[in-house]
Amino acid sequence: MSGKRGNGEGSIYPYKNGYAAYVWVTKPDGKRARKYAYGKTREEVHEKWLNLHAEAKKGPVATRHRTVAAFLTYWLDSVVKPNLAPLTYVSYEGCVRLYIAPHLGAKRLDRLTVRDVREWLTKLATICQCCAQGKDAKRAPARRKCCAIGECCETYPSRRVIQAARDALRAALTHAVTEEEISKNVASLVKVPKPRRRRIKPWSVAEASQFLTDAAARDDHLVAAWVLVLCLGLRRGEVLGLTWKSVDFERGELYVDHQIQRAGREILHRETKTEDSDDFLPLPALCLKALRMRRAQQIGDRKAAGELWQGSHDLIFTTKYGTPIEPGNMTRMFALRTRRAGLRVIPLRNTRHTCSSLLVALKVHPKVAQRILRHSQIAMTMEVYAEASEEEVRAAIGKLSDVMGGTG
């Protein structure tokens, strides 16, 4: 290429050890400004100059680009926190702080590539998080057992953690594309192995009945919660978020519209995730009886606590002082009561699958089961139906309320 400038190339000029060029662009705020490009050769700068012209014709162009860390901080504070659920913010913030910012934070947002993201995810899978986060070093000297004393415990992130980190970055970059800070979302172009879902066989009708019988015999203060979980398929947060206003004893109905969630250091009593989760559910006789027993228990707890009672939300299930029950504590109590009843331990969240298998055994129509389980899509219900166990249950069950009614 000759040393003369080509037609229309007046903005390309020698600069330091190479060349530079600029194009007048419209910024996202509507103002006009110069956008610069640099390179070692005129040919390289000319190519970038042409690309800038093409980009400027398409729409607004950012002239200054933040680092990935700076954009993620803005995204969490200005987009996620005010507009999404508190638990979503906690999840995204944790992924950004622990996994994304330490590795990609210093990179310029517009220069982040697919290769950068792929290499980050590959490296992340080989980093001991106990070492990276200094978990062992935070322990008292007498309790240090691995990383702080030079013996790596090899606590590598699981597939689920790696997928969550990629998903958080992808969500942030999607917003960066929306705000026209970058032209494409490179994180969406990187695939990660899906976590293998561990299939757990749900309880049979006999096992569910044995669990409730044991809980009732021991005067468990959460027996009504276990009944609602197994008979209606309520989620942990939904059960803990129920108030006495949710129960209509005369009509025999339960309205589910709130939940208890742990978000960081707070316990929140908030609306359910979607409107599809809100519904009036019919209460079998066993559920009504269990709730009446629970009401009597709570009246006794309130009298015993006296001035120490702190029940501000009128919750059905509380501690003996009226405070909300920690969701994690309910999970641990369920496992403890399961072992006490001599049953195989299943996760509390899998009780919804137990309820589903009971509905299958009852030959309940999938559309009716969809309403009971409050699935937004019938496909979700059909997937549960396809997985539900049928062995011995179909012949053993008559009506769901009759089976559970044997618990007293």
pLDDT in tens, 172-226: 999 999 887 888 899 999 998 887 777 778 787 778 888 888 888 888 889 999 9
Range with the poorest average pLDDT among 1-10, 235-244, 378-387: 1-10
**CA-CA-CA-CA dihedral for 211, 212, 218, 222, to nearest 10:** 110
Strand (E) positions, 212-371?
247-248, 253-256, 258-263, 266-271, 279-282
What Å distances lie between residue 125 and 101, 118, 137, 162, 190, CA to CA? 16, 11, 21, 7, 15
Domains (ranges, CATH) in the chain?
12-58 (no CATH), 68-189 (1.10.150.130), 205-405 (1.10.443.10)
Q: What is the pTM of this model?
A: 0.67
**CA-CA-CA-CA dihedral for 159, 162, 167, 170, to nearest 10:** -140
* % of residues, the chain, pLDDT over 90: 27
Tell me which of 169 and 308 has the higher pLDDT: 169
pLDDT score for 270: 74
Stretch 128-155: mean pLDDT: 84
pLDDT score for 356: 72
